[in-house]
Structure formats: C-alpha cells, structure tokens
Amino acid sequence: MSDSAADGAYGTEGARKETGLPAGAGDGTRAVRAGLPEPVKHEPTLPGPVFAAHFHLPGDPTGPYTYGRDENPTWTLLERAVGELEAPGLESVETLVFASGMAAISSVLFSQLRAGDVVVLPSDGYQALPLVRDQLQSYGIEVRTAPTGQDAQLEVLDGARLLWIESPSNPGLDVCDIRRLVEAAHARGALVAVDNTLATPLGQRPLELGADFSVASGTKQLTGHGDILLGYVAGRDADSMAAVRRWRKIVGAIPGPMEAWLAHRSIATLQLRVDRQNATALALAEALRGRPEVTGLRYPGLPDDPSHKIASQQMRRYGCVVSFTLPSRARADRFLEALRVVDVATSFGGVRSTAERRGRWGGDAVPEGFIRMSVGAEDPADLVADVLRALDETAH
C-alpha cells in the first residue's frame, strides 16, 4: 500500500478522529459506519488486520506506527469506532483497546492510584474485583466497598481518589444514579470510572453522564459472538489517558490484530443484535414473572423492577441479561440441564443464549439457585418456550 493509500485507510489522527456522520445519526447508522477510514479507490471499505511487530522507520522515530506494542493500524480503526459510539461528536475523547476487559479495568486502577490513595469499588460487582481489591491493598491503597443499589457508594466516598461504578451490576442487575455519584465524586476531587460492559454504548454513555472513564469488556455484547477477548477504555482527559496508555505499554496488555479486526467487523451489527436481544430479554422477564418457583427476578427494563426508574433516566436500552433464583441448587442444575435452546456457559452478550448457576464460581454473594441468563438472538417465542418448558419439566 502506498503512503497516500495508507494515510487514507488508517489516518494519522489516532482514535480521536470523528467521522463525517451527521450529529443526529441513528445508532444503526453509527454502528455500521463507526471507525471506517476515508474511502480509497481499490481498497476495502474495512482494511484487513495488520500483522506487524515493527514498521519501516528510517530516521527519527516519529509518526503513528513505530513498534507493535505501542500502536497498530487495526487498533486505530477499532478505537475510533468505539469512541464514536461511546461519545459521538466529542473529539477530545480518546479510546484505547486492550487484550481483555480485565486488562482495561486494571489499566485505569493501576495507572490512576498510588500508595495512600483511597478507591471505592462496588461490593456487588464483577467477581474478579475481590482479586483486584487484594492487589490494590498490597500496594498500600485503601479499598472501600459498598453496594451499587440506592447509591450506597456515596456513604464511603469522602477522601477517595477514584470511584468505580458498575451499573447495571453483574450479576445482580442493580442500577445507581450515575449523574448523582459523578457530581458527588467530582465535588470531593475524585475521578469516576464506569464499567459499561453490560449496557454497551448503545445502552448508556457514561462520559455523557459526566464520568471520566468508560471501561468495558468487548468480549461480551459489544462484539457479540463469543469468539474473542477484548477490552477498552474511553476517557475525556488527555493526561489521565496518557497514564492509561503508558500502563498498556508497560504491561503489554494489547489485543492481537485479528481480534481487533474481528471486533470492528462485529460492531457493524451491534444495533441489530442489541435491539433483538433487549426485546427478547424483556419478553423472557415478563414470562418469568408469573412462575411460582422464580424469586428475585431482576431486569431493569421491567416497569416494576427496583432499578427501573433510575435506569429509564440514564439508559436507552436495558441490556440482554436477566437474573432470577430457583428454590435450590439441585433445581437450578436440573433446569440448566433441561434447556435445549440455551447453552450452559459463562459470560454474556452473545448471539447464542447462555445461562449458568452463578454460585458455582464462588465469587458472587448470590443464593445457590441463582441463575444468570444471557438472552441471545434466537426467535423470542422459541427461547421463551424453551425456558418455560425446562421449568415445567424440572418442577419435581
């Protein structure tokens, strides 16, 4: 590829470049067009993955691509795409992609915190957070925790350097008032990071709600096919993001170019997948409401869900995950074995529905019969019928 073609295909402005889409472009249009380079005659609309550990670099080491641990043209396009979804029209926002969601989470925590700092984490968040807590404490960082629901993190916010929000929480699906927590944290001089994995940028935009960082696992609904591991961080402050970038360079937590390319390709169908999955998740939640063996049913899109009011004020879509509890571990295991359309697997957000008894991992404070179900893209009637049939067949 010539220099001019390369400039057209990948650009030299990194992940800050915005497309020429109109400001009011819909989510489907934005997802399909996100991160695409300027068209170059005879070149593909989405260039293939660039496999390179190093690049031609005569003279001074300047320019966007020098070494494969620092930058890659395939990352550039993906980072641009994610940034256009997380914060459309905000050119000051920078996005960085990582090898996994945990790599992205770790990059923010360990680049922004120092010994003696205080960080507030959710006590009901992703099950790897207790491991993160132990590591932070070993570095002399004070860790405080509080539940997501009812904005309980406000109670332990004084003196904090960083507030970590997970809303909706995983797996309990509680929601907090992100705007309220952001305002309180900023008034106290604290930064705010929001784990946006479950919502996706089409469900909510934390940066527009005032957060400093939006962090997510791209492994899940963002890419939606259960075949890659990926994470990203989007942030509005150049200095803070420079520290995140430096952390990525130090630890080498970078995605492969093939994973980055697959992720970008998959984002094109994000709106189609999200709308189908969200609608089916609501239909499933409504079908489960009348089941006597089901307790603790949670889905933020249900009008009577405890989180619905605040979720409806800050979310545009409510996610693909439904959680509920069956009377016992044995009943839950029988139910999972009886499913035919749903795979028994961990993670969530894929086009194939999955479910698991979450307590089997031992890291979540949930009942033994707690089920986390990720709704896929199957026909809604088929999925609902399969779940209700499995409940019926395992009633005794």
Residue 16 pLDDT level (bands cut at 50, 70, 90): very low
First to last CA, the chain: 66
Tell me what pLDDT residue 2 has.
Answer: 35
Residue 352 tokens, joined: 């194939």
Query: How high is the pLDDT of residue 24?
Result: 84
Q: What is the pLDDT of residue 207?
A: 98
Neighbours of 396 (CB within 10 A): 6
pLDDT band at 12 (very low <50, low <70, confident <90, very high): very low
- Mean of the per-residue pLDDT values for the chain? 94
Q: How confident is the model at residue 17 (pLDDT cuts 50, 70, 90)?
A: very low
Query: Which residue type, as a one-letter code, is found at position 367?
Result: P
Query: Residue 8: pLDDT above 90?
Result: no
CA pair distance 202, 27, nearest whole angstrom: 7
DSSP 64-104: S-SBTTT--HHHHHHHHHHHHHHSTT-TT-EEEEESSHHHH
Confidence category of residue 156, pLDDT binned at 50, 70, 90: very high
What DSSP line would sit under 330-365, residue for residue?
HHHHHHHHH-SSSEE-S----SS-EEEEGGGGS-S-
At 230-244, the pLDDT tens digits run 999 999 999 999 999
What pLDDT score was predicted for residue 332?
Answer: 98
pLDDT at 6 over 90: no
Res. 210: pLDDT tops 70? yes
Confidence band, pLDDT 50/70/90 cuts, at residue 308: very high
Res 7 pLDDT > 50: no
The label of the residue with tokens 């660039």 reads 50
- Model confidence at 253, pLDDT cuts 50, 70, 90, reads very high
- 197 torsion bin: left (phi>0), alpha (psi -120 to 50), beta (else): alpha
pLDDT tens column, 322-344: 999 999 999 999 999 999 999 99
For 178, list phi and psi in degrees, rounded to 5: -65, -45
Residue 136 has pLDDT above 70, yes or no: yes
Please compute the mean of the pLDDT values over residues 155-183 and round it to a whole number. Answer: 98
Alpha-carbon distance 75 to 260, whole Å? 6
pLDDT given at position 3: 40
- The DSSP bridge pattern shows strands 321-325 and 213-217 to be unpaired
pLDDT digits (tens, 9 = 90+) for 29-39: 999 999 999 99
Binning pLDDT at 50, 70 and 90, where does residue 90 land?
Answer: confident
Give residue 20's pLDDT.
Answer: 65
CA distance 156 to 90: 32
Provide the pLDDT confidence category of residue 309 given band limits of 50, 70 and 90. very high
Provide the H-helix boundaries in the chain: 3-10, 27-33, 73-86, 101-112, 129-138, 178-187, 238-251, 257-267, 270-288, 308-314, 329-338, 380-393
* Mean pLDDT value of segment 377-388: 98
254-301 pLDDT tens trace: 999 999 999 999 999 999 999 999 999 999 999 999 899 999 999 999
Has residue 9 got a pLDDT over 90? no
pLDDT tens readout for residues 119-132: 999 999 998 999 99
User: Which among 307, 390, 395, 328 has a CA at the least distance from the CA of 353?
Assistant: 390
What percent of the chain lies above the pLDDT cut of 70? 95
Contact criterion met (CB below 8 Å) for 375 and 277: yes
| Separation between Cα atoms, residue 208 and residue 87, nearest integer Å | 7
Query: DSSP letters of 170-194?
Result: TTT-----HHHHHHHHHHTT-EEEE
- Burial (CB count <10 Å: 0-12, 13-18, 19+), residue 365: exposed
CA-CA distances (angstroms) from residue 52 to 41, 56, 71, 240? Answer: 24, 10, 10, 28
Among 22-26, 33-37, 162-166, 366-370, the range scoring the smallest mean pLDDT is 22-26
- Rounded to an integer, what distance in angstroms lies between the CA atom of residue 166 and that of residue 147? 10
User: What local confidence, expressed as pLDDT, does residue 10 receive?
Assistant: 59
Q: What is the pLDDT of residue 349?
A: 98
Residue 1: which pLDDT band, with cuts at 50, 70 and 90? very low
Would you state the pLDDT for residue 139? 97
pLDDT tens, 219-230? 999 999 999 999
